[in-house]
Structure 1
Amino acid sequence: MSAADDRIFLLAPSLAMLFLAGLLGICWLNQRQQRFLLWLCSAYALTALYLGIRSLLSPEDLDHHATGIGTLYLLGSWCLARSFAERRRVSTHPGLALLIGLVALAALFYFTHIDQNFWDRLYSFNLGIALILLLPVSDVFKKPRAKDWLNQTLLWSYITYALFTMARPLLVSLWGHTGLGGAMQPNSLYWATTLMSVLFFALLFTVLICAVTMRDIVSQLRSERDHDALTKTLNRRAFNEAARLRLADQRLHPIAILAGDIDHFKRINDGWGHERGDRVLQLVSATLQRNVRSPDLVARFGGEEFVLLLKCIDLAGAGRLAQRIRLELGADNTVLPHEAQLTMSFGISAVKASAQLDSALKEADRLMYSAKNAGRDRAHTAGVLYPDAGPGLQMLAATP
Structure 2
Amino acid sequence: MHTSNDYIYVLMPSLSLLFLAGLLGVCWITQRRQHFLLWLCSAYLLTAVSISIRSVLKLEVLSHYVVLVNALFLAGAWCMSKSFSERRRVVAHPLAALVLCVTTLASLYYFALFEQNTIRRLHAFSIGVALILLLPVPAALKKAPPRDWLDRTLLWSYVSYAVFTMLRPTLVAFFGQHGLSDAMQANSTYWLTTLMSILLFGLLFTVLICAVTIRETVTQLRTERDMDALTQVLNRRAFHEAAQQRLGDQRLYPMAILAGDIDHFKRINDRWGHDRGDEVLQLVSSILKRNVRNHDLVARFGGEEFVLLLTHLDLQGAEQVAQRIRQELSNDKQVLTQGPGLTLSFGITSIANSSQLDGALKQADELLYSAKNAGRDRVHVEGRFYPDICFEYTLPADEALASAT
- Alignment TM class, shorter chain as reference: over 0.9
Letter in 1 for 2:168: R
Q: C-alpha displacement at 1:258, in angstroms?
A: 0.7
Q: C-alpha displacement at 1:340, in angstroms?
A: 2.5
Q: C-alpha displacement at 1:2, in angstroms?
A: 7.1
Q: What is the aligned partner in structure 1 of residue 128 from structure 2?
A: 128
Q: What is the aligned partner in structure 2 of residue 396 from structure 1?
A: 385
Residues 1:335 and 2:324 are matched in the alignment: no
Which moved further from structure 2: 171-180 or 44-53?
Answer: 171-180
The answer to whether the 8 Å contact 1:256/1:309 transfers is: yes
Q: What is the aligned partner in structure 2 of residue 67 from structure 1?
A: 67
Rounded Cα–Cα distance in structure 2 between residues aligned with 1:113 and 1:119? 14
Rounded Cα–Cα distance in structure 2 between residues aligned with 1:49 and 1:64? 17
The answer to whether the 8 Å contact 2:40/2:79 transfers is: yes
Q: What is the aligned partner in structure 1 of residue 347 from structure 2?
A: 347
Which moved further from structure 2: 332-341 or 278-287?
Answer: 332-341
Q: What is the aligned partner in structure 2 of residue 326 from structure 1?
A: 326
Q: What is the aligned partner in structure 2 of residue 387 from structure 1?
A: none
Q: TM-score, normalised by structure 2?
A: 0.93
Letter in 2 for 1:240: H
Rounded Cα–Cα distance in structure 2 between residues aligned with 1:247 and 1:340? 38
The answer to whether the 8 Å contact 1:347/1:368 transfers is: yes
Q: What is the aligned partner in structure 2 of residue 45 from structure 1?
A: 45
Q: What is the aligned partner in structure 2 of residue 391 from structure 1?
A: none
Which moved further from structure 2: 89-98 or 76-85?
Answer: 89-98
Q: C-alpha displacement at 1:179, in angstroms?
A: 5.7
Q: TM-score, normalised by structure 1?
A: 0.94
Q: What is the aligned partner in structure 2 of residue 77 from structure 1?
A: 77
Give the gaps of 5 or more residues in structure 2.
387-405
User: Deviation per CA, 1:361-398, whole angstroms, max 9, x where unpaired?
Assistant: 11110000000000000000013xxxxxxxxxxx338x
Q: What is the aligned partner in structure 2 of residue 245 from structure 1?
A: 245
Q: What is the aligned partner in structure 1 of residue 389 from structure 2?
A: none
Which moved further from structure 2: 279-288 or 52-61?
Answer: 52-61
The answer to whether the 8 Å contact 1:6/1:187 transfers is: no
Q: What is the aligned partner in structure 2 of residue 8 from structure 1?
A: 8
Letter in 1 for 2:183: A
Q: What is the aligned partner in structure 2 of residue 376 from structure 1?
A: 376
User: Deviation per CA, 1:297-345, whole angstroms, max 9, x where unpaired?
Assistant: 1000110000001111111111111111111111111111411211110
2:183 alignment partner, SS class: helix
Rounded Cα–Cα distance in structure 1 between residues aligned with 2:351 and 2:25? 52
| Residues 151-300 of structure 1 aligned to structure 2 (within 5 Å) | 151-178=151-178, 181-300=181-300
Residues 1:25 and 2:25 are matched in the alignment: yes
Rounded Cα–Cα distance in structure 1 between residues aligned with 2:195 and 2:21? 16
Rounded Cα–Cα distance in structure 2 between residues aligned with 1:166 and 1:10? 24
Letter in 2 for 1:252: L
Letter in 2 for 1:148: D
User: Deviation per CA, 1:195-222, whole angstroms, max 9, x where unpaired?
Assistant: 1111111111111100100000000110
Letter in 2 for 1:182: D
Q: C-alpha displacement at 1:27, in angstroms?
A: 2.0
Rounded Cα–Cα distance in structure 1 between residues aligned with 2:148 and 2:288? 30
The answer to whether the 8 Å contact 1:257/1:351 transfers is: yes
Q: CA RMSD in A?
A: 1.4
Q: C-alpha displacement at 1:76, in angstroms?
A: 0.2
Following superposition, which runs of at least 4 residues in structure 1 exceed 6 angstroms of deviation?
none
Which moved further from structure 2: 342-351 or 166-175?
Answer: 166-175
